Chains A and B, each alone.
Chain A
């Protein structure tokens, strides 16, 4: 069955370190998204991609970057982790169009100490 997987599921890191969260989907979807979810804020879009070599900033992109070298993967990098980036991160993918159903990975819980 097609799926979307995130790794690691839990991560603890120190401020200032570079961290990369992985997202891999086997849906063959062109569209991929990264969100963070915090109490009181709901799901907020960090970055998104509509295809290979395409990346776009979302509403909370400062301090984050992504790259899309193939259809399946969209890794999220925190260049220099900050305590404000402690959150739960979700990756999602969709096939676009009117239906545009986004399917979510299980999430990564990141703690920056």
Chain B
């Protein structure tokens, strides 16, 4: 059973701080990694994807991948109250499967 684990949270940070969200996965051959944001009552929306070891930056968001440690993280710099949401980590395995395995999500609250 392929698993994706996230800190259950909730995570609370003050406005302007860095929020750090973590995810580990069990399938060593996983090749694609995604971070989705889900506001309460809404559907998941993609905010970052990462495929290679290292960091990938997009505005205030940085995804970090370490395949040797089977670890992927999302950093949100200068956190804003509008970043308050649940963040879902998703992993795609190598091979023909197009399925994603999702973690249960981490709820982030950014306090003004």
Out of B49, B98, B102, name the residue touching A96 (CB < 8 Å): B98
Instruction: Say how far A24's CB is from chain B's closest CB, in angstroms.
Output: 15
Out of A90, A101, A107, name the residue touching B46 (CB < 8 Å): A101
Q: Are A100 and B100 in contact (CB under 8 A)?
A: yes
Chain A residues numbered 60-111 whose CB sits less than 8 Å from any CB in chain B: 90, 94, 96, 98-107
Q: Please, which residue of chain B has its CB at the minimum distance from the CB of A6?
A: B43
Chain B, interface SS category: strand
Q: Are A43 and B43 in contact (CB under 8 A)?
A: no
Whether a CB of chain A sits under 8 angstroms from the CB of B31 is yes
Q: Are B98 and A42 in contact (CB under 8 A)?
A: no
Chain A residues numbered 11-65 whose CB sits less than 8 Å from any CB in chain B: 31, 33, 40-43, 45, 48, 50, 58
Out of B49, B90, B99, name the residue touching A99 (CB < 8 Å): B49
Pairs of residues from A and B, 6 with the lowest C-beta to C-beta distance, nearest first: A42-B104, A104-B43, A43-B102, A31-B98, A96-B98, A104-B44
Residues of A within 8 A of B (CB): 31, 33, 40-43, 45, 48, 50, 58, 90, 94, 96, 98-107
Residues of B within 8 A of A (CB): 31-32, 34, 42-46, 49, 51, 88, 90, 92, 98-100, 102-105
For this complex, 26 residue pairs linking A to B, each with C-beta atoms less than 8 Å apart, are A31-B98, A33-B99, A41-B104, A42-B88, A42-B103, A42-B104, A43-B44, A43-B102, A48-B99, A50-B98, A58-B99, A90-B44, A94-B98, A96-B98, A98-B31, A98-B51, A99-B32, A100-B32, A100-B98, A102-B34, A102-B100, A103-B46, A104-B45, A105-B43, A107-B42, A107-B43
